[in-house]
């Protein structure tokens, strides 16, 4: 588009192309574009709209807080910030009882990394290859996939670790494999890096956009034990997996492993306004009480966002949505397994609750990926065609690499699930 000043505007929203739809509203699990077309949201937008697109309780809370004064106060003076901190501590695992608030998942991870470095006096951070932790310089630096960096050289001190990606485990999991076991692989890295130099290990307990990688039982505990042995802070990034997404409040609850620091965002307000939290353990809080840790953002706990989060936490509980997500897990899985009977392009199905990944392949036996690792536009084509076919038929599915994220709002009905699976069935033919 050319403006009166002769400037050519290429707004980032144009990245879907000039023909990309302009979304104007939503209701329940559907959203609508400016042409009046309706789409069933099978990925909760960016896996954040856990409560769908018209949750009256959250909308009312936002309106009320705007009416009460959206610009009031410094975060630490605000009643609603304290209320949210207390309410969030009721659902976070173990003793993660102190909250730092921020505006995005990336910022929450920045705070986690800074805190771990400050606490330990060490500089290195170990992160996994298949990971996404955000787009700011620090969060991107711990993100292991170079396809996300786009020229960012990265902040110093980041060391990479392999993933418990059992579908493509080089050692042929479930035979004992140091990588899929967690601790043994980490121990080996530490021999070379020097544990006395390592501040933190940061992982997504269930990897999100880099492929919905679910670790084997025992993996997170093994990381926990290794970190404890060496005084290393364990950070769980639950930005995508928090708030019932995987069928428990937090993904790590499934294995009963508590990190030193947990970050969350997305489902915290269910996407109605931006908010993130860095939850830290009582032990770290005690240390903070005796230390100087200058940290603060103008919007560390914006009142409107905090009011939305308090309301969202109420809705999760009132409507039993964590339990609902857990119950939907086997239902979604059996739908996906039926699709796999019909579509040879489905190589692997993994997930739980309302969080599933469909990994698409060229060949199910050899597991040759549908899209090779460094996709040029042509190579990425089959995946793009698949999501375009779904979207054209009224189903929104987020994809990354070879994986389609089936992550509907936790409020999805059985009928809507069936409706979406029928469209998915047709769209998958494009990839077969
Ligand atoms: N961490 C994880 C696991 C994520 O999935 C994301 C975003 O998708 C982020 C961090 C970054 O969050 P934000 O986009 O709010 O900065």
Tokens of 102: 């921020």
User: CA 179 to CA 169: how far, in whole Å?
Assistant: 8
> How many alpha carbons lie under 13 Å from residue 247 in its C-beta half-sphere?
17
DSSP-derived 3-state class of residue 358: strand
Say what the pLDDT of residue 8 is. 63
Q: How far is C-alpha 180 from the geometric centre of its chain's CA atoms? A: 21
Question: Which ligand 1 atom minimizes the distance to the CA of 274?
Answer: 15
Q: Ligand 1: which of 132, 237, 268 to mutate, judged by most atoms within 8 Å of the beta carbon? A: 132
Query: Is 70 exceeded by the pLDDT of residue 280?
Result: yes
User: CA 423 to CA 425: how far, in whole Å?
Assistant: 5
Q: Is the CB of 166 under 6 A from ligand 1?
A: no
- For residue 133, the CA-to-ligand 1 centroid distance in Å is 5
- For residue 105, the CA-to-ligand 1 centroid distance in Å is 5
- For residue 47, the CA-to-ligand 1 centroid distance in Å is 10
- Measured by CA distance, the residue closest to atom 7 of ligand 1 is 134
Summarised one tens digit per residue, pLDDT across range 205-259 is: 999 999 999 999 999 999 999 999 999 999 999 999 999 999 999 999 999 999 9
Determine which helix (DSSP H) or strand (DSSP E) holds 202, and give its type and residue range.
Answer: strand 198-203
Summarised one tens digit per residue, pLDDT across range 404-427 is: 999 999 999 999 999 999 999 999
Read off the pTM. Answer: 0.96
User: CA 319 to CA 298: how far, in whole Å?
Assistant: 33
- Measured by CA distance, the residue closest to atom 10 of ligand 1 is 133
- For residue 232, the CA-to-ligand 1 centroid distance in Å is 23
Could you tell me which of 153, 163, 111, 101 has the C-alpha nearest to residue 132? 163
**Would you place residue 388 in the very low, low, confident or very high pLDDT band (cuts 50, 70, 90)?**
very high
Q: Distance from first CA to last CA of the chain, Å, rounded? A: 38
Phi-psi region of 8 (alpha: psi -120 to 50; beta: other; left: phi over 0): beta
Say what the pLDDT of residue 271 is. 98
Say what the pLDDT of residue 48 is. 98
Tokens of 209: 């956009």
Domains 12-54+320-428 and 57-318 share a fold: no
Class assignment of domain 12-54+320-428? alpha beta
Tokens of 57: 């309780």
Domain boundaries, the chain: 12-54+320-428, 57-318
Q: Is the CB of 240 under 6 A from ligand 1?
A: yes
Class assignment of domain 57-318? alpha beta
CB 279 within 8 A of CB 92: yes
**Burial of residue 155 (number of CB atoms within 10 Å: 0-12, 13-18, 19+):** middle
The predicted model gives 6-30 an average pLDDT of: 73
């Amino acid at each position: 588009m050319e403006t009166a000043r002769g400037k050519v505007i290429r707004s980032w929203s144009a990245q879907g192309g000039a023909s990309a739809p302009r979304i104007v509203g939503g209701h329940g699990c559907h959203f609508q574009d400016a042409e009046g077309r309706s789409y069933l949201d099978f990925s909760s937008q960016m896996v954040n709209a856990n409560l769908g697109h018209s949750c009256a309780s959250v909308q009312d809370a936002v309106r009320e807080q705007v009416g009460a004064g959206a610009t009031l106060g410094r975060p630490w003076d605000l009643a609603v910030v304290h209320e949210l901190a207390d309410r969030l501590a009721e659902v976070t695992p173990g003793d993660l009882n102190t909250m730092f608030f921020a505006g995005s998942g990336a910022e929450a991870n920045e705070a986690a990394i800074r805190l771990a470095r400050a606490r330990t006096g060490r500089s290195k951070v170990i992160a996994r290859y298949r990971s996404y932790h955000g787009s700011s310089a620090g969060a991107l630096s711990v993100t292991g996939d170079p396809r996300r960096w786009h020229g960012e050289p990265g902040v110093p001190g980041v060391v990479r670790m392999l993933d418990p990606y059992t579908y493509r485990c080089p050692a042929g999991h479930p035979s004992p494999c140091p990588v899929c076991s967690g601790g043994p692989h980490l121990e080996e890295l530490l021999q070379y890096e020097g544990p006395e130099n390592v501040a933190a290990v940061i992982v997504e307990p269930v990897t999100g956009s880099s492929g919905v990688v679910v670790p084997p039982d025992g993996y997170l505990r093994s990381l926990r034990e290794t970190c404890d042995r060496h005084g290393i802070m364990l950070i769980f990034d639950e930005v995508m997996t928090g708030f019932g997404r995987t069928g428990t409040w937090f993904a790590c609850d499934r294995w009963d492993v508590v990190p030193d620091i947990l970050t969350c965002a997305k489902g915290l307000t269910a996407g109605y306004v931006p908010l993130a939290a860095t939850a830290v353990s009582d032990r770290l809080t005690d240390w903070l009480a005796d230390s100087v840790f200058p940290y603060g953002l103008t919007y560390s706990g914006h009142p409107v966002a905090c009011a939305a989060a308090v309301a969202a936490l109420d809705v999760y509980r009132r409507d039993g949505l964590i339990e609902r997500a857990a119950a939907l897990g086997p239902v979604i899985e059996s739908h996906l397994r039926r699709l796999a009977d019909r579509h040879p392009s489905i190589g692997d199905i993994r997930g739980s609750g309302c969080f599933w990944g469909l990994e698409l392949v060229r060949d199910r036996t050899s597991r040759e990926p549908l899209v090779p690792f460094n996709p040029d536009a042509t190579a990425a084509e089959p995946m793009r065609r698949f999501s375009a076919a779904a979207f054209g038929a009224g189903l929104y599915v987020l994809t990354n690499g070879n994986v389609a994220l089936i992550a509907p709002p936790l409020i999805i009905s059985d009928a809507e699930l069936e409706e979406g699976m029928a469209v998915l069935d047709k769209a998958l033919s494009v990839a077969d």
